[in-house]
Structure 1
């Protein structure tokens, strides 16, 4: 990798860490748009999972005062069930149309929520949370966005920003554990990928730290809107990636 591409990789890594530190998710959305032009898709997936353990672990440690295992375990259990099912469905379904449809739904939801008063708050019980977790895992297995549904569900409950992150970040951490183990068994963590991880590590950490510092200066409403904007970007990224495949069919 020449110096120009290396600097681009480092910039994307820092930016991904910053967004994750600020919002608690969306690191993969940010970095993949740049990384996919520099390194292989397998390396991108492996690095997102590896750095995901770091970003989510950092957030959990910083927000440990707000952790509530009673709220975390149903979503985590459902996500763990849903991820392998979603991955398996990739061999039986055309993921392009699914990504496009999900992208449209995410954009509609985020746009409506940004221009209208907040929906809810809704009270959601453990059985429903398991089902939400399964849907979260399914979407993650098919699209790679393993935390979008759980993040939205936390927002719909009307919780404070700290409580939201103290629930959806442990769920994301669990998802990244499952994904990382799967990739390790598949041999995705090659020496070159591990070396890239080491190169980007200090910049990822710096981004997380600065992002979390900024997070500490905002209120609940600003956090709600920031999350919705990232959901909107996630939806747009799914549509853009799907449109390229649809135009070839």
Structure 2
């Protein structure tokens, strides 16, 4: 890899780590916008899953004082069930229509949330949490956005920012374990990709550390708006990707 190209790769890793440290998710959204132009889609997907284990593992460690597995396990179980179902459904659905529809829904939800007061807290039971987790996994298998629904559901409950992250980050970690394991079984993790992973780790960790530093200085309302803004960005990116393909 040439020096200018590696500089772009490293800068994206730094930015992705920072966003993950600050918000707890959206690392893949940030890095893919750059990496898809300089490395292959398969390498991008493999690196996002691999770095996801790193960023979510770090987040879980940093928030271990508020970690509550009783709240996280139903969402995690549902996500594990939903991911392979979502992947299998892809063979029967037009992914373009699906991505566009999900993107529009995310945009509408984020705009509504940004223009309205904080939602009244919603109490959600274990059964409903498992169902939400299945939906979360389905969406992850269908679009690659494996933590969106679990993140939104944590917002609905009105929890403080630390507790939200202490629940949806273990869910994301489990999702990345499933994805990485599937990639390993499929044989898509190559020596070249592992080399790229090792080269990017220092930049990802530096971004992650600095993002967490800033996270510790914000209040719950700022965190809420940040999550909504990132969901808006995720929705717009899905819509834009479909429109771009349609115009080709």
- What TM-score does the superposition give when structure 1 sets the normalisation length? 0.98
- Aligned counterpart, 2:60: 60
Deviation at 1:41, TM superposition (A): 0.2
Deviation at 1:186, TM superposition (A): 1.1
Deviation at 1:246, TM superposition (A): 2.9
- Aligned counterpart, 1:221: 221
- Aligned counterpart, 1:147: 147
Q: Is 1:94 the equivalent of 2:94?
A: yes
- Aligned counterpart, 1:69: 69
- Aligned counterpart, 2:234: 234
In 1, the alpha carbon distance for the partners of 2:202 and 2:118 equals 37
Per-residue deviation, residues 51-89 of structure 1 (Å, max 9, x unmatched): 000000000000011111111011001000000000001
The root-mean-square deviation of aligned C-alpha atoms, in Å, is 0.7
In 1, the alpha carbon distance for the partners of 2:126 and 2:215 equals 29
- Aligned counterpart, 2:10: 10
In 2, the alpha carbon distance for the partners of 1:210 and 1:68 equals 25
- Aligned counterpart, 1:110: 110
Q: Is 1:84 the equivalent of 2:117?
A: no
In 2, the alpha carbon distance for the partners of 1:246 and 1:154 equals 34
- Aligned counterpart, 2:244: 244
Per-residue deviation, residues 97-136 of structure 1 (Å, max 9, x unmatched): 0110000000000001101112221000010001100000
In 2, the alpha carbon distance for the partners of 1:90 and 1:119 equals 33
Deviation at 1:244, TM superposition (A): 2.0
Stretches of structure 2 lacking an aligned partner (at least 5 in a row): none
- Aligned counterpart, 2:198: 198
Count of residue pairs the alignment pairs up: 248
Stretches of structure 1 lacking an aligned partner (at least 5 in a row): none
Deviation at 1:158, TM superposition (A): 0.2
- Aligned counterpart, 1:121: 121
In 2, the alpha carbon distance for the partners of 1:243 and 1:88 equals 24
Tell me whether 61-70 or 170-179 shows the greater mean CA deviation: 61-70
- What TM-score does the superposition give when structure 2 sets the normalisation length? 0.99
Q: Is 1:184 the equivalent of 2:181?
A: no
- Aligned counterpart, 2:173: 173
In 1, the alpha carbon distance for the partners of 2:220 and 2:90 equals 37
Secondary structure of the residue aligned to 1:217 is coil
In 1, the alpha carbon distance for the partners of 2:247 and 2:4 equals 31
In 1, the alpha carbon distance for the partners of 2:151 and 2:119 equals 14
In 2, the alpha carbon distance for the partners of 1:203 and 1:157 equals 34
Per-residue deviation, residues 167-200 of structure 1 (Å, max 9, x unmatched): 0000000000000000011111101000000100
